[in-house]
Amino acid sequence: MRLLIVEYDRDAADYIARAFREVGHIADQAPDGEEGLAFALDRQYDVLIVDRMLPKRDGLSLIGELRAKGMETPVLILSALGQVDDRVKGLRAGGDDYLPKPYSFSELLARVEALARRRGGRGEETVYRVADLELDRLSHQVTRSKGEIVLQPREFRLLEYQMKHAGQVVTRTMLLENVWDYHFDPQTNVIDVQISRLRSKIDKGFSQPLLHTIRGAGYMIRDK
């Protein structure tokens, strides 16, 4: 998943973002409502995590603006205000879930995953298949010919992105931006190393290779 965390407390935001990245997700951060609005309108996210009390534009105003513009991305509201009336106001403002502070990361993760599943039920794919290779975005399980393949979080994100664009050339720039969240070239061979590791896991021992290098262009997952 790609998440946006709009949280004014830098330490809290860093902690949440790091925790989500450790379980294989991409997490962007915005410190105030105005920057959060700009991020949400400029990029595509699976779930938004929005603190209610934000500088420049409060969380409810941010959510209301997004809903007014027709954005349906699920929003989980974080707030120190946990009374029933506060939760009702948050949900009526356009939030999809409301988690009072303090909270545990395990509960936050479970709620975010539930929102992503709900959105998936409205049409977003949660399982990708190419030939006999299958990737389940929700369970983080990968199988080929029904045999489980164990991937590290970065390898999973790399495979997920390529399977989402199966049959299309995926460039190095696309991978850097969407898998590593880099918006510059780090001038390393990190992609080549990870592609090699991933290829050894999904293609080794099978007569039909699925992960192909397109010389001078990038990479492609395809079944022929």
Neighbouring CB atoms inside 10 A of 77's CB total 27
pLDDT at 123: 47
C-alpha distances (whole Å) from 18 to each of 24, 26, 169 are 10, 9, 30
Please give the structure tokens belonging to residue 93. 């403002």
pLDDT at 122: 47
The CA distance from 223 to 133, in Å, is 9
Q: Which regions of the chain carry the CATH code 3.40.50.2300?
A: 2-120
Q: Which regions of the chain carry the CATH code 1.10.10.10?
A: 127-221
Tell which CATH classification among 1.20.1250.20, 3.40.50.10860, 2.40.10.10, 1.10.10.10 matches the domain 127-221.
Answer: 1.10.10.10
pLDDT at 22: 79
pLDDT at 125: 66
Q: Where are the alpha helices (DSSP H) in the chain?
A: 10-22, 33-42, 59-68, 84-92, 105-120, 153-164, 172-178, 190-202
Question: Which mean pLDDT values do the consecutive 10-residue runs of the chain (224 residues) have?
Answer: 92 91 87 94 90 91 91 89 77 87 87 81 70 89 93 92 89 85 79 94 93 92 85
Q: Give the rounded distance of the alpha carbon of 98 from its chain centre.
A: 20
pLDDT at 82: 62
Q: If residue 205 lies in a helix (H) or strand (E), which one and from where to where?
A: none
Contacts of 215 (CB under 8 A, 6+ apart): none
Check residue 58 and report its DSSP letter. -
pLDDT at 120: 59
Q: Which long-range contacts (CB under 8 A, 24 or more apart) does 158-161 make?
A: 158/194, 158/195, 158/198, 159/135, 159/198, 159/202, 159/221, 160/128, 160/135
Tell which CATH classification among 3.30.470.20, 3.90.245.10, 3.90.1010.10, 3.40.50.2300 matches the domain 2-120.
Answer: 3.40.50.2300
The pTM score is: 0.59
